[in-house]
Amino acid sequence: MSKIKNLGGLVTPSRRDVLKYGGAAALSMPFVSRAWAQTVEVNMLAWYGHGEPDIVGEFEAANNVKFKPKYYAGGDNMLGLIAQSPPGTYDIILSDAEFVQQLNAAGYIEELNAADYNFDDMLYDDFKKFPGHWDGDKLHSVMVRCGHLGVSYNKNAITAEEATSYKCFWKPEVKGKVGHFDWHLPSLGMMSLYNGNGAGLWDLDDAKWDAVKKATMSLRSQVGGFFDYGGTFNSLKNGEMQAMCGIGDWITGVLEKDGAPVASVVPKEGGIQWTESYCIGKGSQKADMVKKFIQYMLTPEGQVKSAEMKAYPGFAITKGGRAKLIEVDKKEAERTGQIDGMTNDPITLIKEGRIHYRGIPKQQSLEDWNDFWSEYKNA
Amino acid sequence: MTQPARKRFDAYAMTWRLPIIIWQLLFFVGPLLFMVAMSFFVVKNYRMVEAFEFTNWVKMLGRGYFWDSYFLTLWLATLATVCAMVIAFPAAYALAFKVPDSVRRWAIFLLIIPFFTSYLVRIFSWYVILAETGVVNSILSYVGLGPYTMLNTKFGTIIGYLTLTLPLVVILQTFAMANIDTRLVEAAHNLGCKPFATVYRVVIPLAKTGLIIAALFCFILSFGDFVSPYYLGGSKPPTLPILIIDTTKSGQQWPRAAVVAIMMMITLFAVAFAAISAAYAKRGKS
């Protein structure tokens, strides 16, 4: 018995033993946990929400990684942030698809290995070789989600029938109640569609550009405000704005799920697709981890997370992702038309030519568009 | 025969002055000079490139929307200043002359409390109050009025400006009037000066410096505020701070934003100079 007791009191420990060994264990824990695994920090540049726990939480826990997001609003805002940061600042960059080419041209992103990603699972052929993501056979970015922009409206103020045309923004009853998401690209793109420019909405000669400006100016008296993400959200929620130009289900979807009487539709003049894609930042030391994350976001589970993202929902872009979404959240799949055969199936809309990928002006500079936007806001 | 006092370098005094001089040089004069230099830079591929070109000045000052924003900002800040001064004066007068010291201390403490909370949060709380389905319109509906649109209007912007400035203006006005020798006020009364005339002829002239400083602070804070015109005014039309954001957001035109900022600073310098000259005008002559 005394021998056993001589084992340092481990078998029948006294109160002093408990304190002694417990204290030693507690003091050594930080060293143990540090030695166990070092958390990898991944710097992310993205739209709001992409670095939040509902998206990255599970991946972080499984891979002992921590995302440090820096959020932006708008592609040129993103380009500016990268341009002003040293190479290697951002490991992963979520880019609007239309800006990938500029990222690549400026040398801000790494080339990707196409074999690392399952393009065969993409829902639509365009998504496999999305415009601007490839430079010949070289891959620079992988599309992970998308959504459609059109007429966003309050159902108590605008009927579903009226919402089938951008014309509803000019409805006298919503004077002073039409809001703009404060970014020129989607709003002016919609005005271009309203003018009948269809697939050529970004390719405007002087006459067409003047006509777009004129149409936009004619809307000014209807406009109640220009809002950022939070302001857009609030003004639709509290009914201050009853129609919103420049957005889509990515905002109304969140409100709709909360029971607000709002919706978004792709009008007959056509809608615009926003497309979000991941790139690996040039000089990143964590390229392997980022590649793993992009692969994760393309898995059915990752796609469901993306489709149900709390900040703003999007469409699943893989077959596996769509199937999984229908399996785990059929209500959301139905609400957004992500079921084969539904009339508002986003893929059907693209195939019918009613959806145009968001681009940048071809015959004017972004500065021209922005200048007009400032002029419009001041009118 | 007394020796004329010789000015000599006082190292001790300089040691105490040096930190503020260094601070101002590092964090005010330096950035200001850089901002002036930056206004001549150009942006290429979203990157600022050092240059000496007048393009940004010509482009910004040549645009009608810049001047629209400029005069709107000037007008709104002036209106907010007048409103704040008029609304604050009766309260400050009462705190300075009509209440016991203990009440004044508590009132000052309560006026400081709003600064404990984020200004942005306070502005967002106005959404609940000013919305068409909000508190004010709900109350008005009981007497058959409204609903009135208050959010995303200039009225909303002014409410936001007052949220920012009114407590400060009341405090500054109170201090300005509390320092008046009350015997002068009593003398005016004894000599038959009516209450309103006493305020106009005695109190305001004696508190002039403090009152002008209060107005100046109100103007400066309102003129440079981004939050209220954006969130309560709906950015419709944009004020100069919003124009700065717009300019940087799209195309990363920091040099053009610098032009706007410099124009704002020139305006504020001019207003501050005029206000301080007016505040100390008589004192200088006497």
B-chain CB neighbours of A364 within 8 Å are: none
Candidates B79, B117, B111; CA nearest to B94 is: B111
pLDDT number for residue A87: 87
Size (chain B), residues: 286
Cβ atoms of residues A266 and A152 within 8 Å: no
pLDDT number for residue A5: 44
Copy the structure tokens of residue A241. 């704005």
Q: How far is A216 from chain B (nearest CA, A)?
A: 15
Cβ atoms of residues A193 and A165 within 8 Å: no
pLDDT number for residue A23: 61
A-chain CB neighbours of B152 within 8 Å are: 224-225, 235, 240
- Residues whose CB is less than 8 angstroms from the CB of residue B61 and which lie 6 or more positions away in sequence, other chains included: B259, B263
Q: What is the mean pLDDT of residues B79-83?
A: 98
Task: Reduce the DSSP state of residue A154 to 3 states and report it.
Answer: strand
pLDDT number for residue A22: 59
Distance, in Å, from the CA atom of A260 to the CA atom of B54, rounded to the nearest integer, reads 50
Distance, in Å, from the CA atom of B51 to the CA atom of B40, rounded to the nearest integer, reads 6
Q: Do A240 and B246 touch (CB under 8 A)?
A: no
Candidates A251, A216, A250; CA nearest to A231 is: A251
Q: Do B236 and A76 touch (CB under 8 A)?
A: no
Nearest CA in chain A to B129: A238
Nearest CA in chain A to B233: A225
- Residue entry with tokens 């704040």: B84
The conformational region for residue B9 under phi > 0 = left, psi -120 to 50 = alpha, else beta, is beta
Q: What is the mean pLDDT of residues A1-13?
A: 47
Beta bridge partners of B276: none
Candidates B247, B271, B264, B266; CA nearest to B72 is: B264
Candidates B212, B72, B98, B232; CA nearest to B164 is: B232
Q: What is the mean pLDDT of residues A15-38?
A: 57
Residue B6: band (very low, low, confident or very high) from pLDDT cuts 50, 70, 90: low
B-chain CB neighbours of A222 within 8 Å are: none
Cα-based distances in Å from A172 to A157, A188, A220, B113? 11, 21, 13, 45
DSSP B115: G
Q: Which element (helix H / strand E) includes A34?
A: helix A15-36
Q: How far is A364 from chain B (nearest CA, A)?
A: 13
Copy the structure tokens of residue B265. 């600073």
pLDDT mean across residues, chain B: 91
A-chain CB neighbours of B64 within 8 Å are: 375, 378
What does the radius of gyration of chain A's CA atoms come to, in whole angstroms? 25
- Residue entry with tokens 């007791």: A5
Distance, in Å, from the CA atom of B271 to the CA atom of B28, rounded to the nearest integer, reads 19
pLDDT number for residue A83: 85
Distance, in Å, from the CA atom of A274 to the CA atom of A185, rounded to the nearest integer, reads 11
Domains in chain B and their CATH numbers? 64-285 (1.10.3720.10)
Distance, in Å, from the CA atom of A229 to the CA atom of A306, rounded to the nearest integer, reads 18
Q: What is the mean pLDDT of residues B219-232?
A: 96
Distance, in Å, from the CA atom of B94 to the CA atom of B203, rounded to the nearest integer, reads 12
Q: What is the largest CA-CA distance in chain A?
A: 101
pLDDT number for residue B4: 56
Residues of B with CB under 8 A from a CB of A: 45-47, 63-65, 68-69, 127, 131-134, 149, 151-152, 230-231, 233-238, 243, 246-253
Residue B53: band (very low, low, confident or very high) from pLDDT cuts 50, 70, 90: very high
Strands (DSSP E) contained in chain A are 40-47, 65-72, 92-96, 134-135, 138-139, 142-149, 151-154, 178-181, 223-227, 243-245, 262-265, 271-280, 355-357
Q: Do B251 and A226 touch (CB under 8 A)?
A: no
Residue A26 confidence (pLDDT) above 60: no
Q: Which among A74, A183, A377 has CB closest to B238?
A: A377
Nearest CA in chain A to B69: A378
Strands (DSSP E) contained in chain B are 42-44, 47-49
How many Cβ contacts (< 8 angstroms) between chains A and B? 102
Q: What is the mean pLDDT of residues B212-229?
A: 97
Does any CB of chain B come closer than 8 Å to the CB of residue A238? yes
Crossing angle of helices B240-249 and A75-83, rounded to 10°: 80
pLDDT number for residue A19: 59
Q: Which among A80, A224, A239 has CB closest to B234?
A: A224
Q: Do A378 and B151 touch (CB under 8 A)?
A: no
B-chain CB neighbours of A371 within 8 Å are: 63
Residue B216 confidence (pLDDT) above 80: yes
Candidates B109, B104, B95, B273; CA nearest to B173 is: B95
To the nearest 5 percent, what fractions of chain B are helix, strand and coil?
75, 0, 25
Residue B248 confidence (pLDDT) above 90: no
Candidates B233, B15, B80, B284; CA nearest to A225 is: B233
Does any CB of chain B come closer than 8 Å to the CB of residue A53? no
Nearest CA in chain B to A77: B249
Q: Do A176 and B149 touch (CB under 8 A)?
A: yes
Residue B43: band (very low, low, confident or very high) from pLDDT cuts 50, 70, 90: confident
Nearest CA in chain B to A236: B131
Nearest CA in chain A to B67: A378
Cα-based distances in Å from B14 to B18, B20, B27? 6, 10, 19
Distance, in Å, from the CA atom of B220 to the CA atom of B20, rounded to the nearest integer, reads 22
A-chain CB neighbours of B149 within 8 Å are: 176, 224, 240
pLDDT number for residue B47: 78
Cβ atoms of residues B160 and B123 within 8 Å: yes
What is the tally of helices (H) and strands (E) in chain B? Answer: 16, 2
Residue B45 confidence (pLDDT) above 80: no
Residue B261 confidence (pLDDT) above 90: yes
By mean pLDDT, which of A309-318, A364-373, B4-13, B58-67 is the weakest?
Answer: B4-13
pLDDT number for residue B153: 94
Distance of CA B155 to the CA centre of its chain: 18
Q: Do B65 and A182 touch (CB under 8 A)?
A: no
Residue B258 confidence (pLDDT) above 60: yes
Beta bridge partners of A109: A281
pLDDT number for residue A1: 39
Q: Do A79 and B252 touch (CB under 8 A)?
A: yes
Cβ-count burial of A36 within 10 angstroms (0-12 exposed, 13-18 middle, 19+ buried)? Answer: exposed
> CA B35, B39, B45: angle at the middle one, nearest 5?
110
Cα-based distances in Å from A354 to A148, A191, A345, B39, B181? 10, 15, 12, 44, 78
Residue A14 confidence (pLDDT) above 80: no
**Residue range A66-89, pLDDT digits in tens:** 999 999 988 878 988 898 888 899
Residue B167 confidence (pLDDT) above 60: yes
Does any CB of chain B come closer than 8 Å to the CB of residue A220? no
Q: Which residues of A253-290 are buried (b: 16+ CB within 10 A; e: fewer)?
A: bbbbeeebebbbbbbebbbbbbbbbbbbbbebebbebb
Q: What is the mean pLDDT of residues B169-193?
A: 94
Does any CB of chain B come closer than 8 Å to the CB of residue A375? yes
pLDDT mean across residues, chain A: 90
Residue B24: band (very low, low, confident or very high) from pLDDT cuts 50, 70, 90: very high
Amino acid in the structure at residue B65: Y
Q: Do A378 and B237 touch (CB under 8 A)?
A: yes
Residue A136 confidence (pLDDT) above 50: yes
Amino acid in the structure at residue A18: V
Copy the structure tokens of residue B5. 């006092």
Residue B285: band (very low, low, confident or very high) from pLDDT cuts 50, 70, 90: very low
Q: What is the mean pLDDT of residues A178-207?
A: 96
Residue B286: band (very low, low, confident or very high) from pLDDT cuts 50, 70, 90: very low
Q: How far is B255 from chain A (nearest CA, A)?
A: 13
Q: What is the mean pLDDT of residues A213-225?
A: 96
Residue A7 confidence (pLDDT) above 60: no
Q: Where are the alpha helices (DSSP H) in B131-231?
A: 135-142, 154-178, 182-190, 195-198, 204-206, 208-223, 227-231
* Torsion angles phi and psi, residue A131, rounded to 5: -50, 130
* Omega cis (within 30) before B237: yes
pLDDT number for residue B255: 94
pLDDT number for residue A27: 54
Q: What is the mean pLDDT of residues B162-186?
A: 95
